[in-house]
Structure 1
Amino acid sequence: MAALPMGMGVLTSKTFAATLPPLSEDAPNAKALNYVKVAADAADHPAFKEDAYCDNCMFWQPNTNGCTLFQGFSVEAKGWCQSWVKRPG
């Protein structure tokens, strides 16, 4: 029984995280980093690299589809922004 409150807190956090609102390409912070929901849309950007997607970036949070650069929002797995850095490993 003692672990129940802690377990409920974790469940609540994961439930909240799973419902993060999607980041709009029109949001000021998205525009500042040239975020696009479809990476191919950024192919003409000088920082773009082939196979660079949110889901293989070091800032990607796979359990929430979140990004540490866009706190409180989910991003598209196959999206891209100019801050993309290959995830180690």
Structure 2
Amino acid sequence: MSDSPLDRRTLLKSAIAGLVALPCAGLVREAEAADAPHLDEKDPLAVAMGYVHDAKKVDASKVPQYKPGSFCHNCVQLVGKEGDEWRPCNLFPGKLVDKDGWCKVWVLKPGAKVG
């Protein structure tokens, strides 16, 4: 046996315990998010990111990053339960965004379609 404080068996047990804990952490985050406040469009971070609750109101001539058909619900940053109107976003911790919203950091979710 090895004299190392982290032998292979201990390392494997720790890795498995960590993998088991990951889904549980996600459930806690979603439960906490359900009580989170809605993001205010006037919030300094929301203003910096160009966030709006309704992507259809974005003036494409003033915001070159905007692509028609891009919404929070088809962005890779949106998390939470599919179909919920207000959901957590990785960019705005502790706040919920409108699924029909948009911001300058929008990136198409893999497998999603614009439109």
**Aligned match for 1:49, one of 67, 71, 74:** 67
1:4 counterpart residue number: none
Q: Secondary structure at the match of 1:59?
A: coil
Aligned-residue Cα RMSD (Å) equals 2.1
TM-score by length of 1: 0.80
- Which stretches in structure 1 are left out of the alignment for 5+ residues? 1-8
Moved more, 25-34 or 37-46: 37-46
Q: CA deviation at 1:15?
A: 3.2
Q: Deviations over 1:34-86 (max 9, x none)?
A: 00000012132211111100011000013370110000000000000010000
Q: Percent identity?
A: 35
Amino acid at match of 1:79: G
Q: Which has the higher contact order (CA 8 A, sep 6+)?
A: 1
Equivalent residues, number: 81
2:87 counterpart residue number: 65
Q: Is the 8 A contact 1:66 1:72 kept in 2?
A: yes
The higher radius of gyration belongs to 2
- Which stretches in structure 2 are left out of the alignment for 5+ residues? 1-23
